[in-house]
Amino acid sequence: MMLQLTDASGRWRFPLAVILIFFALCVSRSAAAPQQPGLLHEFLMPATLAEVFPGASRFDPAEGDPPVSSVHDGEKLLGYVYLTSDVVDSTGYSGKPIRILVGIDLDGRIVGAKLVEHHEPIVLVGIPAAKLEAFIRSYVGKRAVDAVKQAASDSSVDIISGATVTTMVIGDSIVRSAIKVAEMRGLGVPKAGPSIAAAAPKLEIDPGKTQAGGWQELLGDGSVRRLSLSVDDINAAFVKSANKLAIDHPEAGSGSDVFIDLYVAQATVPGIGRSLLGDGGYQSLANNLKPGQQAIIVGGTGRYSFKGSGYVRGGIFDRIELIQGDTIIRFHDRDHRRLGGLSAAGAPSLPEIGLFTIPADQHFDPAAPWRLELLVQRAIGARDKAFLTFDLGYQVPAKYLRQKAAPPAPAAPVAAEPASGQPTAAADAKAAPLPPVLWQRAWRAKAGEIVIMVAALMVLTAVFFFQGALVRRPVLYHRLRFAFLTFTLFWIGWYAQAQLSVVNVLAFFNSLRTDFRWDYFLMDPLIFILWSSVAAAMLFWGRGAFCGWLCPFGALQEILNAIAKKLGIRQLAIPFWLHQRLWPIKYIVFLGLFGISLYSLSFAEEAAEVEPFKTAIVLRFMREWPFILYVGALLSAGLFVERFYCRYLCPLGAALAIPGRLRMFDWLRRYRECGNPCDRCAVECPVQAIHPEGNINPNECIQCLHCQELYHDDHRCPVMIQRRLKSEKRSSVMGSHRPAPPRPEMPHLDRARALSSIDLTQR
């Protein structure tokens, strides 16, 4: 394979461009206006007050830190309204806060919530607005102390199918802000509540209480808690949820059948752990736990599995989660160990028993109450499901607890630190920034998908590095390319929904101008991995690595065009002079969007609907008819002109082509005869990226490698055809002068000697 560096005049372009970009960003950041600490006054208006706090007639100016506005009915105080971004970190994937107005009454109950501003590319490209609004409304009616739940045990949960990290940020910001405002204003607690709580003794597990007991004793004193649900219970709960589709699909079987019999216990309490695991099992658990880790036992029987299959597909148990205060703990396969049975005398034989470890960084308090939330799902269609949640509360029995010893005297100065504005280490741990927690959670939940994505990128890298050997085998090359495009469309696009968008580019540049943090972009692992690979590929191959191989919509166009050719649909030949005047359109579209984003990112995100990705890939054509008609027109044009949208309209392709000019290598091989007199590659290039004079336009090239296949084909490339004919002629001439009799035992040596005398370097 021949690998060439760019010419000497281009070697300095890359460092110079980096310096210029860095300088421009520094100037842009210095010119950016600082973010205002409180923006409630910009979003709370009389028109929006009725939506976030029904029954209120007026509101006062915001006051306090964080700023909260009191709302009234006449002179009567009803509650407060606040903006989530003023109370907690609600930064989303875009690097911008997701702002939600929330109304909370004097009982600490959320009475209204309204999304007022966001710049999330994931939402703009993937989630319908109606579903997002319904998701936010699902928190209305919950008390702040219970807002960490998505629904009460007898109501349905509006879970967005394929919910993104953005919805996790929204949910967490509503929960944490509601709890914080309720605590600061004393909502939903008696007036003396805070002082009583402060004076209450702190408890901890007593390591000296190690006496084991039988199953009935454990159930009787609350060491083991039980949740038993029959088929009738589940059907009645769905009826109460008022979800008509769920009601129309009742659970089959006898109403008295056990739907699930669920048991939980805290295994790291010595007396409980020894009872359920036996002395040896408990000792093994204690030896394997790291400092700060805790463990619980969950067992179940019945037709419904509390484990589900999510932990097999994605490494996460999606049907159970542990909730303590405002902390939600979700378990992964690495936190789980299967148990064959329980050691307590009289314990039932349960088909599913698991030991779940709680990581130390969750700061779980083993002496405090917690609950296990069970998610019950019911299929109501080919793809849709309805959900209910049921709670199983747990509190370690008092006999296993003891009062914590008073802190030592030297710790007294630490208590004064919060007054000076410096939080303690414990407070820092409890109030950990939201984005790091979320992105780590997202990466763990998608561990399996990450492995698949990385493996696919490694395969593509091998294709490019060994392209010379691959294109010499046309059948293998075409099959591999078609298989990879199919994977890109079905897995990257329709399954993983990792379609990149120009909105991502606009959000990235906007974050560079304001408050850039890697945490924002790490929250969607597949998108982050794809962008990282595209950035690296641009140094080697330009934009073609993405546009030609990793873009789901591009793959859809190419597959449909291939089918059209098989069906005999005639392809339109665009004259090159016209093609040259059409392909700049996509650069104009991108520059327009980029300019708009500098003025208003929200408006630019709406204008980015020129991309068909949301309709065709993320929403799988399930959208309003104007969007379907637009995508249908683009795909129809692509049946006659291969990759019509990629050639002339795609702003993302234009955005990638601009930095793609900085590539440092030239992998595509050419002959001197290319373009003069031969123009076969230019004629056959699927996107007309080859000029009639023979040079390849890297801005338009999608690295499909078709020209490289022709480069080595001695039956289609005129240069190679001449070489083959010349070689065959010389071989036949030399064969006629070969002495008789020939040596049939070594014919390959004769041919090798003949070929060695031919000058194959002539170009």
Q: Where are the domains of the chain?
A: 40-190, 203-398, 446-670, 718-756
- Report H helices in 159-314: 165-185, 193-199, 215-220, 231-240, 244-247, 270-288, 310-313
**How far apart are alpha carbons 331 and 375 in whole angstroms?**
14
Residue 107: predicted pLDDT: 84
pLDDT tier, 28 (very low <50, low <70, confident <90, very high otherwise)? very low
Lowest-pLDDT choice from 44-48, 123-127, 270-274: 123-127
Q: Are 249 and 234 in contact (CB under 8 A)?
A: no
Mean pLDDT of the chain, nearest integer: 77
- Beta partners for residue 299, in sequence order: 263, 353
Average pLDDT over residues 424-453: 61
Lowest-pLDDT choice from 160-164, 357-361, 517-521, 721-725: 160-164
The number of beta carbons lying within 10 Å of the beta carbon of residue 33 is 6
Q: Are 335 and 346 in contact (CB under 8 A)?
A: no
Average pLDDT over residues 631-657: 92
Residue 556: predicted pLDDT: 95
CA atoms within 13 Å, Cβ hemisphere of 545:
27
Q: Give the residue with greater pLDDT, 675 vs 406.
A: 675
pLDDT tier, 608 (very low <50, low <70, confident <90, very high otherwise)? confident
Residue 44: which residues within 8 A CB-CB, separation 6 or more?
52, 59, 62, 69, 81, 83, 101
Looking at the predicted structure, is the pLDDT value of residue 95 above 50? yes
Residue 407: predicted pLDDT: 59
Average pLDDT over residues 138-155: 58
Average pLDDT over residues 592-611: 82
| CA 417 to the chain's CA centroid | 39
**CA diameter of the chain:** 120
Residue 230 DSSP class: E
Angle between helices 13-31 and 502-513 (to 10 degrees): 60
Per-residue tokens: 566: 């098989």
Q: Give the residue with greater pLDDT, 201 vs 31.
A: 201
Residue 608 DSSP class: G
**How far apart are alpha carbons 171 and 126 in whole angstroms?**
17
Peptide bond into 66 cis (omega under 30): yes
355: nearest Cα among 433, 229, 267: 267
Angle between helices 585-599 and 651-660 (to 10 degrees): 90
Angle between helices 165-185 and 434-445 (to 10 degrees): 140
| Cα four-point dihedral sign 133, 135, 141, 146 | negative
Q: Are 41 and 62 in contact (CB under 8 A)?
A: yes
**How far apart are alpha carbons 440 and 487 in whole angstroms?**
27
**How far apart are alpha carbons 154 and 390 in whole angstroms?**
7
Residue 215: predicted pLDDT: 93
Average pLDDT over residues 559-572: 92
**How far apart are alpha carbons 277 and 232 in whole angstroms?**
33
Looking at the predicted structure, is the pLDDT value of residue 276 above 90? yes
**How far apart are alpha carbons 364 and 289 in whole angstroms?**
14
3-class SS of residue 379:
strand
Percent of the chain residues past pLDDT 70, beyond the cut: 75
Lowest-pLDDT choice from 11-25, 393-407, 622-636: 11-25
Residue 426: predicted pLDDT: 39
Looking at the predicted structure, is the pLDDT value of residue 395 above 50? yes
Residue 5: predicted pLDDT: 39
Rounded alpha-carbon distances, angstroms, from residue 131 to 85, 136, 137 = 21, 9, 10
Residue 446: predicted pLDDT: 80
Average pLDDT over residues 550-554: 93
pLDDT tier, 244 (very low <50, low <70, confident <90, very high otherwise)? confident
**How far apart are alpha carbons 37 and 85 in whole angstroms?**
9
Lowest-pLDDT choice from 205-219, 435-449, 547-561: 435-449
Looking at the predicted structure, is the pLDDT value of residue 57 above 60? yes
- What phi and psi values does residue 488 have, to the nearest 5 degrees? -60, -45
pLDDT tier, 674 (very low <50, low <70, confident <90, very high otherwise)? confident
101: nearest Cα among 89, 109, 111, 92: 111
**How far apart are alpha carbons 253 and 201 in whole angstroms?**
50
**pTM above threshold 0.75:** no
pLDDT tier, 271 (very low <50, low <70, confident <90, very high otherwise)? very high
Average pLDDT over residues 121-146: 68
| CA 565 to the chain's CA centroid | 36
Q: What is the DSSP string of 416-442?
A: TGGGGT---HHHHHHT--HHHHHHHHH
